[in-house]
Amino acid sequence: MSKVPDNISLSELVGGLVTDVTSLLRKEINLAKTEASEKFSQALSGVEVLIFGLVLAIGAVGVLLTAAVAGLAAFLLTQGVSATSANALSALIIGVVIAGIAWALVAKGLSALRGSNLRLDRTATSLRRDVGAVKEKM
């Protein structure tokens, strides 16, 4: 810190401090806006992955259950399982597989939306540093 000249009045010192603090707050607000925008973009990416995963899960249930159930049922029929049991068992097996894939995609999307990914870490660090600097001046 630089030494304050003896001929500066208290009102000038307080005025300078107010100006410095005001300028500092403006900079912090701009930093917070920038960081919040970045975090919003990250969250939006997570939502996009989540939606894409859900769309794939819905499409997969329709298409894969139709094709794979028929194929697995045909295989089970060749193994001596009755037609009703083969259809039911193949639908269950395929449904579980598709549900597992959908769960993995949804979990990935949700992890991108966790609260720790949305914190304004740089702004908080900068504010702590600025509060320390203001305390030193007082």
DSSP string, 92-136: HHHHHHHHHHHHHHHHHHHHHTSGGGG--HHHHHHHHHHHHHHHH
Domain count, the chain: 1
Has residue 101 been placed in a domain? Answer: yes
The CA-to-CA distance between both ends of the chain, in Å, stands at: 12
Tell me the average pLDDT across 33-53.
87
Has residue 84 been placed in a domain? Answer: yes
Q: How far apart are alpha carbons 33 and 49 in whole angstroms?
A: 25
Domain that holds residue 98: 11-137
- The total number of residues shown for the chain amounts to 138
Has residue 96 been placed in a domain? Answer: yes
Has residue 94 been placed in a domain? Answer: yes
pLDDT digits (tens, 9 = 90+) for 110-122: 887 876 666 777 7
Q: Do residues 86 and 76 touch, judged by C-beta distance below 8 A? A: yes
pLDDT: which is higher, 125 or 4: 125
pLDDT digits (tens, 9 = 90+) for 55-83: 988 887 788 778 888 999 999 999 999 99
Q: For residue 70, which amino acid is it?
A: A
Nearest CA-CA partner of 50 in 115, 105, 103, 102 = 105
Has residue 1 been placed in a domain? Answer: no
Neighbouring CB atoms inside 10 A of 36's CB total: 13
Taking the whole predicted model, whether its pTM rises above 0.95 is answered as: no
Given CA atoms 71, 75, 81, 82 in this order, what sign does their dihedral have?
Answer: positive
Has residue 121 been placed in a domain? Answer: yes
Has residue 6 been placed in a domain? Answer: no
Has residue 5 been placed in a domain? Answer: no
